[in-house]
């Protein structure tokens, strides 16, 4: 995706960006047919502990992050996606940002694959997917294990 940003979307004119935004806003909202069962208190506390230790410095206690550096987590569509694979990839492998003239971003997210167990990653993922008004389908340690196996 970095190549797309550097070689394409970062070079769009303001008019092009507005046209894309207008088009996307014209689309009907996606229907969410999946019933989300929130994590139990123990799972939320376990996830909150990991979040407080490793995530809070950048994403802040309220998940608000820092504009154009660390993405906000409340209402984050990727984070709440029915398929958690992208979120798991980011937690496991980290994220390297691309700096463009419009988005001077030097923020990076470290990889936690070696530092956290499958249970810890599932817990912190569930915490973020179900805090600050978010509602995401539960992630299991088995899903994290599978994501580890599918590492690039």
CATH number of the domain encompassing residue 49: 1.10.760.10
Residue 103 has pLDDT above 70, yes or no: no
User: To the nearest 10°, the Cα dihedral for 131, 132, 133, 135?
Assistant: -30
Distances (CA, A) of 35 to 19, 25, 40, 123: 34, 25, 15, 19
Name the residue range of residue 31's domain: 2-149
What does the pLDDT average to over 18-24? 91
Can you tell me the distance from the alpha carbon of 74 to that of 55, in angstroms, rounded to the nearest whole number? Answer: 14
**The pLDDT of residue 32 is above 70:** no
Q: Which residue has the higher pLDDT, 96 or 145?
A: 145
Q: What pLDDT does residue 95 have? A: 87
34 versus 74: which is more confidently predicted?
A: 74
pLDDT for the residue numbered 130: 97
The answer to whether 78 and 128 have CB atoms below 8 angstroms apart is no
93 pLDDT exceeds 70? yes
3-class DSSP state of 52: helix
Work out the mean pLDDT of the chain and round it to a whole number.
88
The pLDDT value recorded for residue 35 is 77
Q: How far apart are CA 17 and CA 19, in angstroms?
A: 5
The answer to whether the CB of 144 falls within 8 A of the CB of 122 is yes
Distance CA 73, CA 81 (A): 12
123 — pLDDT class (breaks 50, 70, 90): very high
| Tally of structural domains, the chain | 1
Confidence at 6, pLDDT banded by 50, 70, 90 = low
Residue 68 has pLDDT above 90, yes or no: no
Sign of CA dihedral 70, 138, 36, 44: negative
């Amino acid at each position: 995706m970095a190549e797309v940003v550097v070689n394409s979307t970062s070079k769009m004119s303001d008019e092009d960006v507005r046209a894309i935004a207008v088009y996307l806003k014209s689309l009907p909202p996606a229907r969410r047919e999946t019933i989300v069962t929130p994590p139990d208190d123990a799972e939320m506390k376990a996830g909150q502990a990991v979040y407080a230790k490793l995530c809070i410095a950048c994403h802040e206690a309220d998940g608000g992050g820092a504009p154009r550096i660390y993405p906000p987590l409340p209402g984050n569509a990727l984070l709440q996606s029915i398929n958690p694979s992208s979120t798991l990839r980011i937690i496991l492998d980290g994220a390297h940002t691309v700096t463009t003239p419009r988005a001077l971003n030097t923020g990076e997210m470290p990889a936690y694959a070696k530092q956290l167990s499958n249970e810890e990653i599932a817990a912190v993922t569930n915490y973020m997917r179900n805090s600050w008004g978010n509602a995401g389908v539960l992630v299991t340690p088995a899903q994290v294990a599978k994501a580890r196996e599918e590492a690039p």
